[in-house]
Amino acid sequence: MENIRVEHHSLWGGAWFAAWLFTLGYLDLGFLKGVLAVVLWPYFLGQALSG
């Protein structure tokens, strides 16, 4: 019989959520860009910090 192992990585999910909230506040993104920042937050930070 196989052993099934379940791991919880809530720390990394919380870190991602905190980074997303930081991006929203730091860049003063509106609602639509905030929704896009769920996936593209490194892009928005890179764009803001490069110029």
Domain ranges of the chain: 24-51
Write down the pLDDT at residue 46. 85
For residues 34 and 3, give the distance between their C-alpha atoms in angstroms, rounded to a whole number. Answer: 41
- How much is the pTM? 0.55
Q: What letters, b where the CB count within 10 A reaches 16 and e where it falls short, cover 27-39?
A: bebeeeebeebee
3-class DSSP assignment, residue 16: helix
* Residue pLDDT, tens place only, 7-38: 877 788 888 888 888 888 888 888 888 888 77
- At residue 11, the pLDDT reads 84
- The helix-helix angle for 31-50 and 10-27 (nearest 10°) equals 80
